[in-house]
Amino acid sequence: MVKISVIVPIYNTENYLRECLDSIVNQTFEDIEIICINDGSTDSSLNILEDYSMKDSRIKIISQENKGQGSARNNGLDIANGDYIYFMDSDDKIELNTLKDCYDGIIKDNLDFIMFQLINYDEKKGFYQIPDYDMPNIGKLVGNSIFSYKDLNDLIFEVAVSPVNKLYNKRFLKDIGAKFPENLIFEDNIFFWNVFLNAKRVKFIPEHYYIRRRHSFSTTGKPGIRFVDTLEIHNMIFEIFKKFDIFEQYKRNLFNKKINSAIVRFNQVEEKFKSKFFDMIKKDFESMIDRYEYDEVVNCLNNHNRLILNNVLTANDLKEFSLLLEIDKLKNDIKTTKIKNRKLKKEIAKLKNDNKKILSSKSWKITKPLRNIYNFRK
C-alpha cells in the first residue's frame, strides 16, 4: 500500500508531458504511485509514458478510448491504491515539495482534504497570479485553522473548484461516493461541490505549489459548442445545494453565477456555434423560469444578469438577441454620456465661480496697474 496515488489524465500533451512527469517523479515525497490514464491520445504521449515507465516502476499506464478528463479521473480513482489522492493535469507541473508538505498537513490534522494556491504560466506573459487561484479572502478568514464550508458563508464561491490544488483522503472520497460526471466539460465543478459540502475538516496552505499552463490546446481553451455544458453543470450544482438543504441560502449567488457563466461562454464560442448555443440557452432559461418562477429568479439577479435573462426570454433567435444587446449597449452609452455631461457642467460652473471670485478679489484689483504695464511692454 502506497501513501499517495497521483492520477494524471493524458490527452495529446506531448509538448508538455515530460515536464509534468518530471515534476512528479522528482517529488521529495517518494512513497507514491503515478497512475497515467492515456485518454485516447493520437500524438506521441503514449510513447513518452512508456519511456518514463521503463525508468520508474511507480508509473502505471492505463489506456482507454477518448472519453474526457472526468472518465479518466474516475478510472484512476477506481484502481488507486494510495491512502490519499492527488489529481494532476498533464500539461502542468508542481513544485517538488508539494506532496510532502500536503501529506504532512493532512496527516497532522486528520483532514478530509488540504488545498493550496495555483499560479498561471503563459509562454508569452510568463507567471501571473489571479484572485481565483490565490483565494486571498479565504486565507485571511481561516488562517491556519481547520474549517468547513459552514465557516465561509458567501466566501464558498471564492474557493478554487479545480481538483489539482488539493490532496484528498481516499477513504473520505469513497465514503461520499465522489465521482466526476462524464461526457461533460467543466466537470470539476460537480466533483468540487460534492466534496466540499461533505467535508468537515479542511485546511488551506497559502503557497503556489501548482503551475497551471495556459495555452490554446487545453480542454477549456477550445471555444466550441461543448461550452454549452456550463448550463447542465450549473443545473447539477443546483441539485447538490438542494441535497444539502442550502439552496435557498445561496440561490442569489447560484442564479447569478449560472446566467453570468452562460453569457461568458456564449461570448467565447466561435461565431458558427452562436446560433445553436443561443437556442440552448433560451431553452434552458425557459425551463428554469418554469421551475422556479420568474419573480423568484429575477429578484435574485443583479441588474446586468436581469437584463441578460429578459433579453434571452424576449428574443426568438440569435439575431433578435444580438439586436437587443446592441440596444442595451447604446442605452448604456447614452447614460454614460449624460453622466459625463453632468460632471462637466458642474466643473464648468465651479470654474466660472472661481474665476468670478478671483476677478472680484482685492488682490486682483490692486495688481491691475502692474498687469497693464506688463501687457503694454509685451
Q: Which pLDDT belongs to residue 126?
A: 92
182 grid coordinates: 462524464
327-334 long-range Cβ contacts below 8 angstroms, 24+ apart: none
pLDDT over threshold 60, residue 377: no
* Structural domain ending residue among the three candidates 160, 192, 221: 221
Residue 16 has pLDDT above 80, yes or no: yes
Query: What's the mean pLDDT in 68-75?
Result: 96
Q: Is residue 146 part of a domain?
A: yes
DSSP state of 43: S
pLDDT-derived band of residue 378, with 50, 70 and 90 as boundaries? low
Are 257 and 139 in the same domain? Answer: no
Q: What is the pLDDT of residues 155-190, one digit of tens each?
A: 999 999 999 999 999 999 999 999 999 999 999 999
Number of domains in the chain: 3
Distance CA 80, CA 92 (A): 21
Question: Is residue 337 located within the same domain as residue 356?
Answer: yes
User: Same domain, yes or no, for 193 and 126?
Assistant: yes
pLDDT tens digits, 324-354: 888 877 776 676 677 777 777 777 777 777 7
| pLDDT surpassing 90 at residue 32 | yes
| More confident of the two residues 149 and 357 | 149
Q: Count the neighbouring beta carbons within 10 Å of the beta carbon of residue 241.
A: 18
CB 119 within 8 A of CB 133: yes
Same domain, 105 and 210: yes
pLDDT at position 272 over 70: yes
User: Both 8 and 135 in a single domain?
Assistant: yes
What pLDDT band is residue 148 in, cutting at 50, 70 and 90? very high
Domain that residue 261 falls in: 225-314
Short-list 241, 167, 254, 155, CA closest to 198: 241
Examine the domain organization and report whether 105 and 239 are in the same domain. Answer: no
Residue 157 lies in a domain: yes
pLDDT at 375: 55
Report if residue 302 sits inside a domain.
yes
185 contact partners, CB below 8 Å, separation of at least 6? 68, 219, 220, 226, 227, 229
Q: Is residue 322 part of a domain?
A: no
Looking at the structure, tell me whether residues 13 and 100 fall in a common domain.
yes
Last residue of a domain, one of 203, 221, 239: 221
Helix, strand counts (H, E) of the chain: 16, 9
CA dist., res. 316 & res. 282, Å (int)? 9
Q: Tell me how far apart the alpha carbons of residues 367 and 47 are, in angstroms, rounded to a whole number.
A: 90
- Asked if residue 16 belongs to a domain, the reply is yes
Same domain, 189 and 215: yes
Residue with cell 487545453: 218
Shared domain check, 238 and 208: no
- Of the chain, the percentage scoring pLDDT greater than 70 comes to 91
Query: Which three-class secondary structure state does DSSP give residue 119?
Result: strand
pLDDT computed for residue 354 by the predictor: 73
Please name the helix (run of DSSP H) or strand (run of DSSP E) that holds residue 208, with its range, or none.
strand 202-213
Give residue 319's pLDDT.
94
Average pLDDT over residues 263-279: 94
Domain end residue (candidates: 188, 221, 254): 221
Residues 16 and 92 in one domain: yes
361 vs 207, residue with greater confidence: 207
The pLDDT value given to residue 88? 97
Do residues 247 and 170 share a domain?
no
| CATH code at position 32 | 3.90.550.10
In a domain, 319, yes or no: no
How much is the pLDDT for 33? 98
Question: How distant, in Å, are the alpha carbons of 20, 54, 100, 102, 219 from that of 27?
Answer: 11, 18, 8, 12, 26
- Specify the pairing of strand 166-169 against strand 84-87: antiparallel
> What's the pLDDT score for residue 220?
46
Average pLDDT over residues 346-370: 72
Q: Looking at the structure, do residues 25 and 161 belong to the same domain, yes or no?
A: yes
Residue 325 lies in a domain: no
The answer to whether 32 and 68 have CB atoms below 8 angstroms apart is no
pLDDT per position as a tens digit, 95-117: 999 999 999 999 999 999 999 99
Stretch 56-71: mean pLDDT, rounded?
96
In a domain, 272, yes or no: yes
